[in-house]
Structure 1
């Protein structure tokens, strides 16, 4: 097959050239149309349900809603995880499905069960399935600025004008509105007047909703015409609402304005936004799952330019988070590294080959391989991101190997040919090395195949790396057997090519040192064994982590305040912090803080929880050398605000942590059980232990308890006397305390809510219920039209209760999260786990698990330890079929440990952790070490026919193979060198990989050049 491919290409050169050109054009088009993002799609197939229940506490929502829905959802097939968070007035239920599950099928399954269960849920429930997005779908955030408009007007502008237009943009799943006030018509009844006219709240609500109706009646035939009949009662404006007839008593018409005040107000707020010390209105773009993030953001920005021109004078759209900035910077980091790598590889080719023509032929394989790779990336739905393009950078040094072997052999054969036709010589030259070239490529593919079998987050991150390498290597192989022979036939000459002087000098030095090594091997053996032992010792001291942290540029500070704090007080603190930080930290350009729940309920934080987004100035203007120093400075400033838990993260990092564990932080410790008090106590103990461990930072315990419940229990005898039920009292108090939406009024195309506001008490000393005493004195209008203070019909008591209830697979849990600084995650978890086992006794029925980055690291390590040996066995089989010798195959495999030791030493010296990217570097070393061994041993085997002494044959063969061995090693090393020195976002992820490969190639090359010939010599002597 390989010989046919070469023969066909050389006999049909025009056809092949045209086909390749067309393929390259398709590749260029594919590159322009490939989705661009910072990361691959790492989110699971996920469906989220968000339900709102105004006025209900976490315990009641859990028992009446969350548990009921979870029981129904647990039966859905292909389900991987069911997680819920229940807080005051909201429950957020997330279902993760197995990889490969169709998102539309998953949403259909959830929707069917949700529809079935809705009739059994409380009547005041609202919400449903969230938009079809992912945890990483928050791609663009902005505030609406206009100093002449109120917060209500700015919110109207966002909700009624900006949001609808942005939702039409392709790839936008929804637009979340946050902050400001949602306009509403408030009805504030006067209880004394209601008593006077004997009107209950139910009657008032029924009268308003029944009046505010338009209805279809039917048709009426009038002669030859048909008239369409309708009833009309909808309120047209606030005046028509005021004049709504509530009741007629003794021929007196009672209108709404007779018993209540009607005014323009706002809905009850569950969250707020502040910017640079003042309240603000924020819009948040949520991208569709699997959309092209860069394109979505580009379209949104283009649409916003059009929208901004139509806004009231002085209105500006202020962008404070733009995912495309990170995408562009990260992609530029990788593409710059890729460009530099290509240049370095081409320079090395020119140095080693010593001929511009042959160097050009080989160099052309690089862009052609890349373009063909883009076609395959497009077909396999791979986006251009840090990982996939990083795979191309990893492969860049190996892409030329096939072409180098082909071209070098062609040059040698052409220079020695005297009689045969040129194409015949080229065909024979290609045919001679086609099988080893093919075997070498297959070995590289096998080496990276374990990455294709990783699961979880690590699988989604590194599968694109492996696929890109496989695509690139296959493209390079195909080109080396087709277009490269054609280019060689067109560009290369028959005359001998003079060997570069540097190669001659290296060969001279190498042959002398190799002869000494073979004659007196003790020194290099002692050095090799010593280095190997040292590397084993160093390996034990390497820290272990999952992934280096990507510097996203911006910072998020997560604040957790007193659990009983009000929204207004929480926002006030945010504003004070913003002013302080802007004054003390010039590195911060602007700050936008988000407190409480958002409009769509996708991020249901409590009123005491705040995410503070900080947009930073360029690093060149900073007073600090690193971001860590800046974070410490901000942390020190925030110590002036005691009583808060503080955590530092980044936009994507925060959402990935929440996706993995439901919380934030590098690690998450979950304690499962049933009793909330016990869960809280255990979480407090674990939090205390974590704080004492070196490296712990931002230790936070999810506040379960801390809520202050006011229990109102009817006195049965009194309630019975006046006909008052618990349900009626609950509904009554909701009218007055929470504010209840009962209808809406159309203003153009916009529906403005009509709500009952807190009832006005003409005899009360205050309008606000600010204490338990005031609550006890609250007048209750009985069904019998009697007014009594609440304390006369009910017992009122205070009790602590849960603010938050988290559940996973139907079980309650408490959680503690922490970031780990200046230390590796694995050793931190090991120490914490040991302390927990020694100092905390879990009650019967309670279990503990570690999650987050640690869980991903452990799973990746376990899978790689299983898969890499399988890959090595496959490589060994290929070697055995190639050499038909167990001993020589083992000799090549023995090169691997010496390659790995260089990687270990390089990691240790560079102070990098053993992360998954570093592990990928070790995987790459397996293939390169084996390839170099094949190059050397195969040539030794070919020279057996020459009647030379064994030493001379080995030294001469090794000398002749010096150039290809050095070319393979140096092109791979220099191809990765730009990643070691790159400083932009994204370089952090690829740097450990590059360090491992470069370090390993140094020791692997030394082993191949010195130890391998020595061991081969011993083996041949033994077999003689």
Structure 2
């Protein structure tokens, strides 16, 4: 079949050239139209349930909302994990599904379960599904500015003009509004006037609700025409509300204006945004729909802003403060630059080591053709061009030419020694068919090496699957093109003239050949030296730290602030101003936008005590120092605020969301203590926090406070209620409306809707005594003070309740600096087990990077040996010898020497990218072994003795082995030296491969011939002895 393919290619040379041209054209088109992003979509299929429960305390929300919904969600197929966060007036339930689950199917399942759960929820609870987005959907953040406009006016513009326009952009899941004041009409009853008129707040609520409606009376026929009938009673402004009649007594109406003041104000706020020490601002956040391309969507959003700008009120502008495309462009540029430099280096090596410009050009053409072929397959399979997929191409660059080198080398040999009368096409055909099988075997072996990457699950699986796919695509393209297009190009470009040996190779041989002969003569010393090196590398390995993934510099810093757990929103926002002014004293910081509390959509259930501050800075090249120095300067500015109970930590937009997605906590490591009793959880978590703080490497340590929130509890007296003919709902309604506030209806202005908020004025609802004076109307019309039927007390209670798999937990979080995550957690675990005694039923779970590192290591530990076994069977099927297959596999442990040593010297940790580097190393090391052993066998079949075959074969295969190693190494040098965003993920891989190939190549050229000569000579002697005996 392969021979037929090669024959067809050489017969139809013009057609193959047209196919090559089509690959070029198709590849260029695919590259221009490929979706581009910074990362693959690393979010699991996730459905988020948001329940707004105005006025309810966390314990009430947990028992009446969170728990019933969790019970309904359990048992949904393909469910991976169920988490919930319960806070004041909010329940946020997140259901992660197994990879591959259709998001729309998952949402349908959750929706069906919610239909049943709604029946058990309290009146007034608003249940919604979050938009079809992911935790990483925050792609564009902007601020709405306008000189002379109030924050209420700007928020109205954001909600009813800007947001609605942006939601029409394809790929936008939703637009979140944050900051400012949501315009509303406030009705503030006067308790004295209500009492004087014998009215309750419920009377006022019913009157407003019933006097805000238009109605239709169908139509009236009039001869040949008709009239549509309608009544106009809808509220249009504050005056209409004031004129509403609440009750009529003796023909005299009692209007709303008689018992309450009406004004334009705002709804109750659950979050706010401040900027640059200047107070409240209005911002928007564009959310990416699942499956959409962030770069294209952001560009479309910017275009929509351009069209929108002329229609905005004079003086209103929109200023972005976070743009995901900045990171995307920088990350893709990093890998594209490394890719381009790698191609140049590889071509130079080809020219130097092949010593023939035509041959080098023929081989070099495989690079652009294979890359463009890969772009076509990426387009067909929906793989985005991102840091990982393009990184896979950069890794493959050094391997792509291997097949073409073997083909071109053999073609050149055949042409140089061709007998007269044999056609050029026949010689090319014979040369290519001779090496087609080993070329195919070599490519398959390398492809098998990358199979473990497809077995990874979770975040690491979603991150590295595109890398493995592009490598396999590139190898497939290289194989097909080397057996079809390269022979055609060789038939046109290459001549039969022999070329002399180049000086570089000659110089290398002058060193190599004596060294190889010495090793053959001193086998035990050579093997012993290699074993010593292997033992030393093994001794170094425990001193190499382990982590899940290196932290990527996204180019933007987020300062995370944690304040006193019972702080009010107004106080929280007030503290932000001096913090911002202090930080802006750092010359490199040009802006700081801080968000406290929950957003409009409640996608991020932050409390008033939690604040995320986005820093805007000058370009990095103007700093004169690195990111760690900036963090040190920020710490110096933030340290004085600890006296105000303000703790701080640092993160980045994507890193923050990834950590939260993995463990529900925004940090490298989450120590979760599970249990039921709040007091026990609080006590034991406090002990854990102290241990974490004193563990070397801990940074930005914070423990979620369960208690510390003051509660004003209205304890209803059932017997007193019965005496007055009242029930619990009567009390609840009065407290909910008078104290918490209730939107009783809406005023419609064109397409805009503004709530009518009924609530007592603040002086009448602040102290417990005020609450006790609230009047409840009995069935008989009597007014009863709430204090007569309930006891009002102040108690302490939880501010936050977190649950995972329907169990409460409290999390202590920490970042890790100056050491690896795994050793940090292992030391921490030992200290906690030694010092913290947990009651029965309580347990600790370690989440975040540590959990993912352990999962990835366990999976690779299982799959890599299976992959090595597959390689062994491939080698055995190729050489029909267990001895020779085992000999080639010996390259793998010796290749580890350089990888381990290079990791140790560089100070990098063993991470998933480093593990990918070792996997790549296995493939190249095995391939070099195949090249050597196959040629040794070929020479022996031609009549050479074992020693002759080894010496001659090692000399003749020096060039291809060096080329394979040098090209693979130099192809990764640009990744090693890159400094842009994303280089942190590529560097460990490059370090491992380059270091490993150095020792692997050295041992392949020296140790493998020595071991081959020893083993094959012993085998021959044993065979001869057996022959003599017979």
The bucket for the TM-score relative to the shorter chain is: over 0.9
Instruction: Specify the alignment match of 1:644 in structure 2.
Output: 646
Deviates more, 1:692-701 or 1:640-649: 640-649
- Taking the aligned partners of 1:717 and 1:1015, their CA distance within structure 2 comes to 96
Query: Shift in Å at residue 415 of structure 1?
Result: 1.1
How much has 1:774 moved relative to structure 2?
A: 4.5
Provide the residue aligned with 1:187 in structure 2: 187
Q: How does 1:451-600 map to 2 (within 5 A)?
A: 451-583=453-585, 585-600=586-601
Where does residue 81 of structure 2 map in the other structure?
A: 81
Rounded to whole Å, the distance in 2 between the matches of 1:463 and 1:351 is 35
Partners in 2 of 1:713 and 1:928 — Cα distance? 74
Instruction: Tell me how far apart the structure 2 counterparts of residues 768 and 200 of structure 1 sit (CA, whole Å).
Output: 14
Hey, what's the Cα distance between the residues in 2 that align with 1:935 and 1:672? 57
Please give the secondary structure, in 2, of the residue aligned with 1:586: coil
Aligned-residue offset at 1:43: 0.6
2:1025 aligned residue: none
- Residue 1023 of structure 2 corresponds to none
| Residue pairs, 1:601-1000, within 5 angstroms | 601-624=602-625, 626-642=626-642, 643-716=645-718, 718-759=720-761, 767=763, 769-776=765-772, 790-948=786-944, 950-1000=946-996
Question: Could you tell me which residue of structure 1 aligns to residue 440 of structure 2?
Answer: 438
In the TM superposition, residue 206 of structure 1 has moved relative to its aligned partner by 1.5
* 1:346-425 matches, cutoff 5 A: 346-419=347-420, 420-425=422-427
Please tell me whether the aligned partners of residues 343 and 397 of structure 2 are also in contact (alpha carbons under 8 angstroms).
yes
Look up the match of 2:49: 49
DSSP 3-state at the match of 2:753: strand
Deviation at 1:3?
A: 0.9
SS of 1:80 mapped into structure 2 = strand
Q: Distance in 1 between matches of 2:769 and 2:196?
A: 26
Shift of 1:783: 5.9
* Aligned equivalents of 1:539, 1:519: Cα separation in 2: 32
Q: Which piece of structure 1 moves more, 499-508 or 973-982?
A: 499-508
3-state SS of the aligned residue for 1:640? Answer: helix
For 1:253 and 1:304, the matched residues in 2 are separated by: 51
The yes-or-no answer on 1:293 pairing with 2:294 is yes
**Worse-superposed segment, 808-817 or 112-121:** 112-121
Secondary structure of the structure 2 residue equivalent to 1:63:
helix
- Post-superposition Cα deviations, 1:592-627, rounded to whole Å, max 9, x if no partner, equal 100000000000111111011112222222253x21
Question: Per the alignment, in what secondary structure is the counterpart of residue 305 of structure 1?
Answer: helix
| Separation (CA, whole Å) in 1 of partners of 2:792 and 2:376 | 71
Structure 2: how far apart are the matches of 1:886 and 1:856? 37
SS at match of 2:971: helix
Worse-matched range after superposition: 309-318 or 943-952: 943-952
Contact residue 273 and residue 595 of structure 1 kept, 8 A: yes
C-alpha distance in structure 2 between counterparts of 1:181 and 1:783, whole Å: 38
Structure 1: state its 5+ residue gaps. 761-766
Distance of 1:712 and 1:953 partners within structure 2: 95
Unaligned runs of 5+ in 2: 1021-1030
CA distance in 1, matches of 2:23, 2:944: 49
CA contact (8 A) 2:23 2:369 kept: no
Aligned residues: 1016
Deviation (angstroms), 1:430: 0.2
Q: CA deviation at 1:810?
A: 1.3
Matched, 1:1009 2:1011: no
Q: Report if the CA contact (8 A) 1:669-1:851 is conserved.
A: yes
SS across alignment from 2:450: helix
Measured after TM superposition, the shift of residue 231 of structure 1 is 2.8
Whole-Å separation in 1 of the counterparts to 2:916 and 2:428: 37
Distance in 2 between residues matched to 1:368 and 1:249, nearest whole Å: 91
Which residue of structure 1 aligns with residue 167 of structure 2? 167
8 A Cα contact 2:81 2:96, kept in partner? yes
In the TM superposition, residue 956 of structure 1 has moved relative to its aligned partner by 1.7
Contact kept? 2:201, 2:738, Cα under 8 Å: no
**Residue 195 of structure 1 contacts residue 785 of structure 1 at CA under 8 Å; is this kept in 2?**
no
Q: Counterpart of 1:303?
A: 304
C-alpha distance 524-225 of structure 1, shift in aligned 2 (>3 A): same
State the shift of 1:577 in Å.
0.4
Q: Contact between 2:569 and 2:608, CA under 8 Å: does it hold in 1?
A: yes
SS in 1 for 2:497: coil
Would you say 1:107 and 2:83 are equivalent positions? no
Residue of structure 1 equivalent to 2:1028: none
| SS of match in other structure, 1:228 | strand
Question: In structure 2, how many angstroms separate the alpha carbons of the residues matched to 1:577 and 1:306?
Answer: 37
| Distance in structure 2 (CA, Å) of the matches to 1:826 and 1:449 | 26
Quick one: distance in 1 between partners of 2:304 and 2:730? 49
Partner of 1:31: 31
Q: Deviations over 1:150-186 (max 9, x none)?
A: 1111111111111100111110000000000000011
CA distance in 2, matches of 1:144, 1:613: 16
- Distance in 1 (alpha carbons) for counterparts of 2:942 and 2:160: 88
Partner SS, residue 181 of structure 1 = coil
Compute the TM-score of the two structures, normalised by the length of structure 2. Answer: 0.97
Alignment partners' CA distance in 2, 1:714 and 1:14: 92
Structure 2 CA distance for aligned equivalents of residues 810 and 520 of structure 1: 67
Q: Tell me the distance in 2 between the aligned counterparts of 1:996 and 1:452.
A: 20
Write the deviation string for residues 171-208 of structure 1: whole angstroms up to 9, x where unpaired: 00000000000000111112222233322222221221
| Per-residue deviation, 1:246 | 2.0
Residue 522 of structure 1 and its aligned partner are, at CA, apart by: 4.8
Shift of 1:739: 1.6
For 2:25, what is the secondary structure of its paired residue?
helix
Deviation at 1:1019, TM superposition (A): 1.3
Match of 1:1018 in 2: 1014
1:764 is aligned to: none
Matched residues in 1 for 2:853 and 2:717: separation?
A: 58
- Tell me, in whole angstroms, the C-alpha distance in 2 between the residues paired with 1:314 and 1:233: 37
Deviation of the 1:974 alpha carbon:
0.1
Residue 778 of structure 1 and its aligned partner are, at CA, apart by 5.3
Give the superposition deviation at 1:426.
Answer: 0.2
CA displacement 1:75-101 (0-9 Å, x = unmatched): 211111111111000000111111111
Distance in 2, matches of 1:807 and 1:153, equals 39
1:119-134 matches, within 5 Å, as: 119-134=119-134
What is the alpha-carbon distance in structure 2 between the residues aligned to residue 779 and residue 254 of structure 1?
18
Instruction: Say if 1:591 and 1:614, in contact at 8 Å, map to a contact too.
Output: yes
Superposition deviation, residue 791 in structure 1: 3.8
Q: CA-to-partner distance for each residue in 1:469-521, whole Å, 9 max, x for gaps?
A: 00100100000001000111111112222332211222233222211221234
Q: Does 1:233 align with 2:233?
A: yes
CA distance in 2, matches of 1:791, 1:753: 30
> Conserved in 2, the CA contact under 8 Å of 1:200 and 1:783?
no
In 2, are the aligned partners of 1:191 and 1:781 still within 8 Å (CA)? no
**Distance change >3 Å, CA 641–CA 778, structure 1 → 2:** farther
Deviates more, 1:787-796 or 1:371-380: 787-796
Query: How far apart are the structure 2 equivalents of 1:718 and 1:1004?
Result: 87
With over 3 angstroms needed to count, the CA separation of the structure-2 counterparts of 1:773 and 1:632, relative to structure 1, is: farther
Could you say which residue in structure 2 is the equivalent of 1:450? 452
Q: Distance in 2 between matches of 1:695 and 1:783?
A: 66
Compute the displacement of 1:313 (Å): 2.0
Asked whether the equivalents of residues 730 and 776 of structure 2 are also in contact (C-alpha less than 8 Å), the reply is no
- RMSD over aligned CA atoms reads 1.6
- Quote the offset at 1:671 in angstroms: 1.6
Report if aligned partners of 1:337, 1:978 keep a CA contact under 8 Å in 2: yes
Q: What is the CA distance between 1:632 and its match in structure 2?
A: 1.9
